[in-house]
Amino acid sequence: MDKRARFLAALARQPVDRPPVWLMRQAGRYLPGYRAVRAEHGFWDVCHTPELSTRVALEPLKKFPLDAAIVFSDILIVPEALGAGVTFEKGEGPVFERTMRSRDDLKQWNTTGLMERLAFMPNAVRHLAKTLAGSHGILGFAGAPFTLFAYSVEGGGSDDFRHARAMLTTDPGLARDAMNLFADAIAELCLAQLAAGADAVQLFDTWGGLLDKADYRAFAVPALNRAAATIRKAGKPVILFIKGGMHLLEVIKDIEVDGVSLDWRTSYSEARAALPGKLLQGQLDPVLLFGSEAAVRERTRAVLDEINRLPGGPGGCIVNLGHGILPQTPETNVAALVDEVVRWRA
């Protein structure tokens, strides 16, 4: 099977010769090719320029026999386009010039012409698709409503996102309205990426695991379902990633997404039992890549064997990490992981 055919078959939950593999943040800071581009261009410039975005997205494909590419961009392009003023300080997380902490703040968000301001993202997908010419699968993506809400209220990264989570009790109506606004924006953005050539989209709910079941169900799920209902009209799969979402499996079952990307603490067997019929992706620990090559190979084979033993068979599974590759990850271990998948046969 060629790479794209394998990726599309797995997305369609059809039989494959082996599960396809791609890695979250595969084009990131651990690659010298990425760092070289960043030495000359600002982060937003890379996102805004389809040629640069594609150049960075291709770096990992040149090094490793991955089955799919992910468009190079960021989830925070949406709050940035709404007017939040997002910058990335050197070596640190994002910083928002304007946070969303009141009804007035929400009113300041500029939704007029939003998709025109975000057109660079589907344009990057189009450029990537044209360059790859069908050689690899292509993923588009967006931030999930709760995670975008969390960054926008907090004004940057955080361990506990206390301002955002406090708003769920101090002003739940405002929190819901903001998440619905994000839901509509990401739905349109994802549809534009799918029309531009993406084979599937992934919604990153990186901070969703901070919520307990009741809050996830009450706040995150309605906005996710609102977005997913629109995106799925394109007839292509929507995959949801939640970091630390193992306590949410029972809630995730009822979310209208086609697939779920598991973090490293959630096993395929547990997920298959809790989420019958859903496409599954994941779930190797990104920190494993800092250990010995032998361990990387052994754990990768263990996940492949687990996938192969799943009730209903190994169809509909995509090997990946349980979160993004970390900066300074040794490339030799990334190569070892991908090599084990490529060589594996049932």
Instruction: Give the nearest residue (CB) to ligand 1CP.
Output: 157
Which residue, 161 or 268, is less far from ligand 1CP as judged by CB?
161
Cα separation, 55 vs 46, in Å, equals 9
- Reported as half-sphere exposure (CB side, CA atoms, 13 A), residue 42 has a value of 7
Token pair recorded at residue 71: 């468009």
- Binding residue for ligand 1CP (CB under 6 A) from 54, 99, 206, 320? 206
Q: Is 75 a binder of ligand 1CP (CB under 6 A)?
A: yes
Give the HSE-up count for residue 192: Cα atoms under 13 Å, Cβ half-sphere. 19
Q: Does 28 bind ligand 1CP (CB under 6 A)?
A: yes
E-only strand ranges, the chain? 68-70, 86-88, 94-96, 137-143, 200-205, 238-242, 259-261, 279-284, 317-321
Taking CB under 6 A as the criterion, the residue among 22, 30, 96, 141 binding ligand 1CP is: 141
Residue from the set 13, 22, 74, 231 that interacts with ligand 1CP by CB under 6 A: 74
Instruction: Catalytic residue, from 151, 215, 216, 258: name it.
Output: 151
* Rounded CA separation 161/285 (Å): 23
* 178 lies in the binding site for ligand 1CP (CB under 6 A): no
Residue from 33, 83, 157, 313 in contact with ligand 1CP (CB under 6 A): 157
CA proximity to 114, closest of 182, 203, 195 = 182
> Could you tell me which residues come within 8 angstroms of residue 224 by beta carbon, excluding any fewer than 6 positions away?
144, 145, 146, 183, 203, 205, 240, 255, 256, 257
Query: Residue 265 interacts with ligand 1CP (CB under 6 A)?
Result: no
70 interacts with ligand 1CP by CB under 6 A? yes
204 touching ligand 1CP, by CB under 6 A: yes
> Can 13 be counted among the known catalytic residues?
no
Q: Which of 30, 64, 72, 96 binds ligand 1CP (CB under 6 A)?
A: 72
Question: Does residue 153 interact with ligand 1CP by CB under 6 A?
Answer: no
Instruction: For residue 29, indicate whether it is catalytic.
Output: yes
Give the residue with the Cβ less far from ligand 1CP, 94 or 314: 94
Question: Using the rule CB under 6 A, is 43 a contact of ligand 1CP?
Answer: yes
221 contacts 251 by C-beta, under 8 angstroms: yes
Q: Does 38 bind ligand 1CP (CB under 6 A)?
A: yes
Task: At 230, list the tokens.
Answer: 């629109």
Task: Show the DSSP H helices in 239-292 as ranges.
Answer: 249-252, 268-274
Q: Please identify which residue in the block is written with the tokens 């990131």.
A: 28
Residue span 86-105 as binding mask against ligand 1CP, x where in contact by CB under 6 A, dash where not: --x----xx-----------
Please report whether residue 76 would count as binding ligand 1CP according to CB under 6 A.
yes
For the question of residue 74 being annotated catalytic, the response is yes
| Residue whose pair of structure tokens reads 């630390």 in the numeric block | 244
Active-site residue list: 25, 29, 38, 74, 151
Q: Give contact residues for ligand 1CP (rule: CB under 6 A).
A: 25-29, 38, 43, 70, 72-76, 88, 93-94, 141, 157, 204, 206, 324
